[in-house]
Amino acid sequence: MVPLSWYLIVSALLFCIGVFGVLARRNAIAILMSIELMLNAVNLNLIALWRYNFPEYPTGLAFAVFVFVVAAAEAAVGLALIISIYRQRRHVVVEDMDLLKF
Amino acid sequence: MSHEFLNLLPVLMPVPPLIAFFLIVLFTNRVRWLSHTIAVLATVICVVFGVILLTEGWHMGSHDLAHHPVGESTLWLPIDGVSHWFKMGGMMDPLTMGMLFFVPIAIFCIVFYSIGYMGYGTSHVDKYYSRFFAFLSLFAAGMFTLVVADNLLLLFVGWEVMGLCSYLLIGFWYDKNYKDPNQITPRQAAVKAFITTRIGDVLMLLGIAYLYTQAGTLSFSEILRNEEMLHQLAAATVPGLGISVAGLIGLLLFAGTVGKSAQFPLHVWLPDAMEGPTPVSAMIHSAAMVSAGVYMVVRMFPLLSAGWHHNGPPTAPMVAMGLIGAFTALFASTIAVAQNDIKRVLAYSTIAQLGYMIAALGVGAFIAAAFHLVTHAFFKALLFLGSGSVIHGMEHGAHHTHDHDTDAQDMMNMGGLKSKMPWTFWTFLIGGMALSGLPLITAGFWSKDEILAESFTAMIHGEGGMGVLGAWVFILLAVSAALTAFYTMRQIGLTFIGKPRTKLAEHAHESTWTMILPLVILAIFAVAAGWLGIPDDFLGIEWGEINTFHHFVGAALIEHPAGVLFNWIPLLTSILVVGLGLYGGYLVYWQRPVEEGAPDPIVERLGPTHEVLKNKYYFDEFYDKYFIEPTKYVAAKIVYEWMDRKIIDGFLHAVGKGTEAVAHRFRQFDTIVINGGVDWLKDRFLDFAQAIRSFQTGKVQEYLWHSLIMAWAFAVLLVLVLSR
């Protein structure tokens, strides 16, 4: 059985990719996908830590399921927003969406 | 009638008019009929109270009443802790009974008469009709307070309430102006009356204060019926003045009377008080006000005469009263001869009659003074109301002929009113005869005769100055009596006899029944009141105790004064001078009445003297030149220019300038430090905000960068802190 640290390293890498995606990509859909990556990195952490520490309780699994639900809801709302922005501007470049500046 | 209620009755006397005053002022001043109904009702209640008290007093008898006056007093003001209290209350002793005999009935007559006089139910009803009845009620309340007071302080309260009311009522027609700028207006007359009486009042208050410091009480019974106290006050001398304490107090109190009862030299306000409505004149001249002044000295007579024994040398206040009273009587009578205003003649006769009472006290004739006070109140109220009726009739003529330039009060414009106003004529004649002292029938004769008899006795039997004082009083009063009879005949002659001298008099007519009824009531008293004071030994015959007034009121003194023995000389003198005066007046004014346009025959006979008398010995001018003008000069030049403008204003301006300078410094501090500081702070905030506003770009990814950097920084911090 692989040690716990390997899971955590993979999870950290995945999270960093997600963060990079969120900060660097210009396409709103790509940012949404990067957020999904970060959420899944967190899920991986949760499951790994649960499996190695408290396998007798189903708490870690339940927590991961909650995160899926939140991720699904977030994706739904995010996509809806993006579509409505697209309908207005015919593009989804995040850098141009700066109506909330001073 | 329970005993408690009876004892409370004297205190209750002033209450109904006082309630009436407040009711009228607060609630009913828009409803004329209700206002006068309330005022009349209040006086009726007072008359009923008075009758109950008189009946009770009569049953008790003068001796019991003097020793145990009906009344009630309450603890009012603690002095020296709680053991010693100043008491306030009302009481009725024989002297109060004498006052209660005439005050309520006279006030009732005057208030009732006012309904007609102020024109109720006619087109020219007075615009301040309700207010008039309110003031009259307050006036009555003041007089009743004064009469029933059982101490000098409460008496003074009533005294001052009347002073206020006289001011309000003399100036009742305050918006009236005359074409002649020298004619005094009601406003000016009111101020004059108020200020003149104030001079006496201040001195009187000093007297009250001095009496309190010396005696430790102001209660009548504790001072006036306490021989030891009177003796002490008479024996002690005032340091530096060489006069007894009682003497100084007496002189100061008498000064109050000089102002209130219009004695020389403070007589000037009373004739001008005629500017008020006629019922007010009647109120001031008979039932209240001037009677109050005489009542006070009569009441305080035991103190004023402390140390005096019958026919002995007079005390200082008695000398002052004898000299001033008799002089005023003659002085005012001479002026009355030359006056043409129907009310002014009566005003000067009032001053003269008050002089009689004061002079009587000067020779020690306590009861005679009180008696003349009572009879005079009746016939003078009658005469004033009668003259009011005449003026009312004349004013009716003025309305009828649309002639408002002719003076309705000038007797030279009247004449022949006898047939137009028969009721007024006959009642006025009765009043006039009572004033002159027509022998045997009228009240005035009996009271005047008593004064003359007493002064004659003082002249013959008096020792150590009393003889001279008695002679002075007797002679001056006798001459004054002749003049009184003469000017009364002149007044009636000019007013009622002959033919009308103007259209006004031609169209005059009799007044309404509300005015006639009081005249008739008062006329009855003007005759009958004298019968209470017929000497026991009149004409040298023993009639038994018929001098009711003497026996009753005399009990108010500690030592019941003996009546003077009958003497033919004063009686004959009295009859002679009155006869002379009446006959003289008859010859000049009745036998050949003054024709229309003809001058007053007296002008020619008196020559330049008439001018002096007509101008009242130039007293108003004298006061104007030597008191009023200097006062105005001092007020304008010294007090205003110098004290007010220079010193007080100067000081104030300096304070103002200083404050302004200090304020200027404060303002600079405010502008530079506080405002500047706040502005600087604001600018720094703005700069900072300007600096950090560039962070808000609206770009989500930049925000995320920021938060990521913060998160890192926080994480680093956390690690550093935790690792330590």
Cβ contact (<8 Å) for A23 and B701? Answer: yes
What does the alpha-carbon distance between residue B403 and residue B405 come to, in Å, rounded to a whole number?
6
Higher-confidence position of B400 and B253: B253
Question: What phi and psi values does residue B179 have, to the nearest 5 degrees?
Answer: -70, -40
**Which residues of B fall within a CB distance of 8 Å from A95?**
699, 701
DSSP lists the bridge partners of residue A93 as A27
Q: Is the pLDDT of residue B710 over 90?
A: yes
pLDDT, tens digit, 9 for 90 and up, residues B193-203: 898 888 889 99
Cβ contact (<8 Å) for B704 and A100? Answer: no
Q: Is the pLDDT of residue B287 over 80?
A: no
CB-closest option in A22, A95, A101 to B704: A22
**Which residues of A fall within a CB distance of 8 Å from B708?**
19, 23
User: Which residues of B fall below an 8 Å CB-CB distance to A?
Assistant: 693, 696-701, 704-705, 708
What does the alpha-carbon distance between residue B539 and residue A11 come to, in Å, rounded to a whole number?
151
Task: State the smallest CA–CA distance between residue B722 and chain A in angstroms.
Answer: 22
Higher-confidence position of B667 and B495: B667
- What DSSP string runs through B635-700? IIIIIIIIIIIIIIHHHHHHHHHHHHHHHHHHHHHIIIIIIHHHHHHHHHHHHHHHHHGGG--S-H
Give the 3-state secondary structure of residue B706: helix
CA dist B656 to B126, B223, B669, Å?
A: 51, 56, 20
Type of residue at A73: A
Task: State the smallest CA–CA distance between residue B676 and chain A in angstroms.
Answer: 29
Cβ contact (<8 Å) for B699 and A101? Answer: yes
> Considering only B89-103, B205-219, B584-598, B687-701, which range has the smallest mean pLDDT?
B584-598
> Considering only B374-378, B427-431, B504-508, which range has the smallest mean pLDDT?
B504-508
Give the 3-state secondary structure of residue B521: helix
CB within 8 A of B261, min separation 6: which ones? B290, B291, B292, B293, B294, B354, B357, B358
**Which residues of A fall within a CB distance of 8 Å from B698?**
97-102
Residues B438-466, mean pLDDT to the nearest whole number: 83
Asked if B154 and B161 touch (Cβ cutoff 8 Å), the reply is no
Which of B398, B399, B392 minimizes the C-alpha distance to B423? Answer: B392
pLDDT, tens digit, 9 for 90 and up, residues B113-142: 888 888 777 777 788 888 889 999 999 999
CB-closest option in A94, A100, A101 to B701: A94
By CB neighbour count within 10 A (0-12 exposed, 13-18 middle, 19+ buried), where does A64 fall?
middle
Q: Is the pLDDT of residue B14 over 80?
A: yes
Q: At what angle do helices B15-23 and B3-12 cross, to 10 degrees?
A: 50
Asked if B11 and B75 touch (Cβ cutoff 8 Å), the reply is no
Asked if B143 and B287 touch (Cβ cutoff 8 Å), the reply is yes
What does the alpha-carbon distance between residue B335 and residue B348 come to, in Å, rounded to a whole number?
7
Q: What is the mean pLDDT of chain B?
A: 85
pLDDT at residue number B563: 67
Instruction: Give the chain A residue whose CA is nearest to the CA of B697.
Output: A101
Instruction: Give the chain A residue whose CA is nearest to the CA of B692.
Output: A102
What does the alpha-carbon distance between residue B281 and residue B170 come to, in Å, rounded to a whole number?
8
pLDDT, tens digit, 9 for 90 and up, residues B588-647: 888 887 777 777 777 777 777 777 777 777 887 888 888 888 888 888 888 888 888 889
pLDDT at residue number B549: 77
pLDDT at residue number B15: 92
What does the alpha-carbon distance between residue B79 and residue B86 come to, in Å, rounded to a whole number?
7
| pLDDT band per the 50, 70, 90 thresholds, residue B80 | confident
**Which residues of A fall within a CB distance of 8 Å from B697?**
98, 101
Task: State the smallest CA–CA distance between residue A16 and chain B in angstroms.
Answer: 12
What does the alpha-carbon distance between residue B259 and residue B251 come to, in Å, rounded to a whole number?
13
DSSP lists the bridge partners of residue A86 as none
Q: Work out the percent of chain B whose per-residue pLDDT is above 90.
A: 15
CB-closest option in A23, A99, A102 to B693: A102
Cβ contact (<8 Å) for B701 and A100? Answer: no
CB-closest option in A23, A100, A102 to B704: A23
The answer to whether the pTM exceeds 0.90 is no
Cβ contact (<8 Å) for A97 and B700? Answer: yes
User: Which residues of A fall below an 8 Å CB-CB distance to B?
Assistant: 19, 22-24, 31, 94-95, 97-102
| pLDDT band per the 50, 70, 90 thresholds, residue B271 | confident
| pLDDT band per the 50, 70, 90 thresholds, residue A73 | very high
What does the alpha-carbon distance between residue B258 and residue B290 come to, in Å, rounded to a whole number?
10
pLDDT at residue number B1: 58
Which of B305, B306, B285, B260 minimizes the C-alpha distance to B373? Answer: B285
Instruction: Give the chain A residue whose CA is nearest to the CA of B696.
Output: A101
**Which residues of B fall within a CB distance of 8 Å from A97?**
698-700
Cβ contact (<8 Å) for B699 and A102? Answer: no
Instruction: Give the chain A residue whose CA is nearest to the CA of B690.
Output: A102
> Considering only A72-76, B99-103, B187-191, B588-592, which range has the smallest mean pLDDT?
B588-592
DSSP lists the bridge partners of residue B151 as B219
Residues B23-34, mean pLDDT to the nearest whole number: 87
**Which residues of A fall within a CB distance of 8 Å from B691?**
none
Which of B434, B440, B470, B431 minimizes the C-alpha distance to B452? Answer: B470
Task: State the smallest CA–CA distance between residue A100 and chain B in angstroms.
Answer: 4
Asked if B393 and B342 touch (Cβ cutoff 8 Å), the reply is no
ipTM of the complex: 0.78
Type of residue at B364: G
CB-closest option in A23, A31, A98 to B697: A98
What does the alpha-carbon distance between residue B118 and residue B113 come to, in Å, rounded to a whole number?
9
Cβ contact (<8 Å) for A98 and B708? Answer: no
Token representation of residue B722 = 């935790």
What does the alpha-carbon distance between residue B583 and residue B217 come to, in Å, rounded to a whole number?
53
| pLDDT band per the 50, 70, 90 thresholds, residue A102 | low
Q: Work out the percent of chain B whose per-residue pLDDT is above 70.
A: 99
Which of B424, B370, B390 minimizes the C-alpha distance to B281? Answer: B390
Q: How many CB pairs under 8 A join A and B?
A: 30
Cβ contact (<8 Å) for B698 and A22? Answer: no
pLDDT at residue number B392: 85
